[in-house]
Structure 1
């Protein structure tokens, strides 16, 4: 299996006027999004199919991408979600016995516009200094557009801050995955961009996993008689998800056990009464060090987030919305960003990273066991 690389021109244009000329890769045309970088050396298929990347043009810092192709077993969702894709050196040959198609072909089939042959290190260093920003990839006929016109198109695109993308990535109707472990009960999963590996991990802990649309009501959640509720990862600004926060407050008011990851962590923070803010260039990759403050253990974790929760890192504090004592449970060691929250008076906790990481480290997989134990303990307390 081979991928025929092109010499057709393409250009990456950032909103500050920076331009990087390279070669067309994947589909042809124009795409606009927030340009971010992901530091994983492996796992590009999982990155591309992670719904959290919706609306973002993803740059791979690893220079050589595509040598293992794409397969039908590892996608995290039903399609590729990135708004665009930037690589330095796409593989000319696919060499893996599990591959079903080349990365280039997969990008074309899903209509994902990319660019190759640019200095990705230079772009990464620029974003680290200036912050994530809007950008556009122009290839095919669009590559010949006037530079000022290309920049105008980028400047007219919406900012990620204030953007709600949950409806774009969520399921249209409920989907159920039966428990594969000793059954505990029904789990309501609010699909804000859930990954397949998350569903599989929850089912393995004994939950019948009900993946529900992002606009579900509390009455509809109650109708499945859940033993707990889970908020998934997903794209967008948590400050633009007021309905999801209001729903979560109803869940917390009923003392239903709750676990949230990534976007779910930010929404728990807002439901508890805390603020969120946009990070300069976010955390994206599979090598982020985080300390579990309960154990003092440092975990290498997988991240994909551009927003974070504002909260005091030391000691406990009262929830501004009346949910009792709260503490920051995990802290990012690169920049002291809040990476986890734990409620001390209600059964609720969350983390900012991906404990189901694939590809990536499995240091944080224990969090699914912690959730299971919390649900079982709550059931015993209520009986």
Structure 2
């Protein structure tokens, strides 16, 4: 008999009434969250530690997870922020020369509930048909009344305040000074900037425009992060106040915040984009990049009309907005993750474009997009 077959039972109960049974691994207890799925074949370490998943119960569609364990080289934040982890089968004995602990040990140490033995194909199909659903992940035995009350309660909307850095910190470099607004930033963003010798100042999400400008930055980075961008109007106002004063580059949530600051709208997607193989077309060059993505909201293309934003990138699967550039100010942003690890590095050059834009502005040779095109 396999060890997994002797474990405590666990259940994932959806607001739709569907119940998925399995066995527990990691921590015990109960957790609420939005149930989503990720189609990546590898990269569960990065997924678990990506702050953009704060408040979500993540389902992995690849059937075997945990076979290479956990190590410090492939994490994206100081701790995991997912509210649960759903897999078909997990490896109890990892095999990799860098492995420092098993997936189960990592989840248990960080208080994350895992459930294995789930028909993840059926669960994914349910999410695709119904949209993302609220779920209760439990190793306990709550009554039907308790389950109903918990599934009716609204989910928290303060994810950014929970994941942002509490204090300013610096990743020193010798080049251009970049202030990075941490809305739930993956460390891959910092690594990508440091690889280009930037002097990176990471600031909390509620930092004001004046405080940012007091650092006299060459550029401002708007990071990825969790939740609905409309839940953080203070961040939208900060971005609006910075536009035109300093070059800006936004990723994922940062892209959505820039769009809102310019008068566009965002909307919730049916089940979002979460995976490492999404094709995105650059409308300016016709080139298609394979990208890593993790988002449940998207900028409405129709809402770009009447703004100063120009559509530059679209998703080849569903035609959604994947990137825009400001027509008058040095600012651009993308919905996907050019810093992705693991995953394709087709779009890594966007960081080089940010460096070039900062240099052009500093040297007085930058031309507004509207004039250059």
Q: TM-score, normalised by structure 1?
A: 0.92
Q: Is the 8 A contact 2:92 2:104 kept in 1?
A: no
Counterpart residue number, 1:73: 73
Deviations 1:242-263 (CA, angstroms, capped at 9, x unpaired):
0001001110042x10000000
172, 182, 186: which one aligns with 1:178: 172
Q: Aligned match of 1:189 in 174, 180, 197? A: 180
Q: How big is the shift at 1:25?
A: 1.6
1:165 aligns with 2:165: no
Tell me, in whole angstroms, the C-alpha distance in 2 between the residues paired with 1:306 and 1:61: 17
In the other structure, the counterpart of 2:342 is 359
Contact 1:33–1:157 (CA<8 Å) still a contact in 2?
no
Give the secondary structure class of the aligned counterpart of 1:73. Answer: helix
Contact 1:14/1:151 (8 A) holds in 2? no
Tell me if 1:150 matches 2:147: yes
Summarize the Cα distance change of 1:69–1:4 in structure 2 as closer, same or farther, 3 Å threshold.
Answer: farther
Among 197, 201, 205, the alignment partner of 2:196 is 205
Structure 1 equivalent of residue 298 of structure 2 = 308
- 1:296 aligns with 286
The answer to whether 1:350 aligns with 2:337 is no
Root mean square deviation of aligned Cα:
1.7
Shift of 1:154: 2.0
Separation in structure 2 between the aligned mates of residue 326 and residue 8 of structure 1, nearest angstrom? 53
Question: Which residue number in structure 2 is paired with residue 257 of structure 1?
Answer: 247
Q: What is the SS of the residue equivalent to 2:100? A: coil
| Contact 2:36 2:57 survives alignment (8 Å) | yes
How many angstroms apart in 2 are the aligned matches of 1:343 and 1:219?
A: 21
Deviation at 1:164, TM superposition (A): 3.7
Say whether 1:275 aligns with 2:269. Answer: no
Query: What's the secondary structure of 1:300's corresponding residue?
Result: strand
Task: Give the distance between the partners of 1:297 and 1:312, measured in 2 at CA.
Answer: 23
Contact conserved, 1:134 with 1:157, CA < 8 A, in 2?
A: no
Partner of 1:7: 7
Residue 345 (structure 1) shift: 1.3
**What is aligned with 1:338?**
321
Counterpart of 1:23 in 2: which secondary structure? strand
* 1:185-215 Cα distance to aligned partner (Å, 9 max, x none): 2111000011111101012223101010111
8 A Cα contact 1:51 1:234, kept in partner? yes
Alignment of 1:40 onto 2:40: yes
Q: Judge conservation of contact 2:244–2:330 (CA < 8 Å) in 1.
A: no
Distance in 1 separating the partners of 2:350 and 2:148: 44
Question: Hey, what does 2:134 align to over in structure 1?
Answer: 134
Q: Is the 8 A contact 1:32 1:157 kept in 2?
A: no
User: What secondary structure is seen at the aligned counterpart in 2 of 1:330?
Assistant: strand
Residues 13 and 151 in structure 1, CA contact (< 8 A), matched pair in contact too: no
Matches of 1:4 and 1:79 in 2, distance apart? 27
Q: Does 1:284 align with 2:278?
A: no
CA-CA distance at 1:318 after TM superposition: 4.0
Poorly superposed stretches of 4+, deviation over 6 Å: none
SS at 1:226's partner residue? Answer: coil
Q: How many residues align?
A: 364
Superposed displacement of residue 145, structure 1: 2.0
Alpha carbons 1:164, 1:237 under 8 Å: kept: no
Structure 1 residue 152 displacement after superposition: 2.6
Q: Is the 8 A contact 2:281 2:316 kept in 1?
A: yes
Q: Distance in 2 between matches of 1:326 and 1:76?
A: 30
Aligned match of 2:370: none
| Partners of 1:312 and 1:328 within 8 A in 2 | no
Gaps of 5+ in 2: 367-373
Given that 2:244 and 2:329 are in contact with CA atoms closer than 8 Å, whether structure 1 keeps it comes out as: no
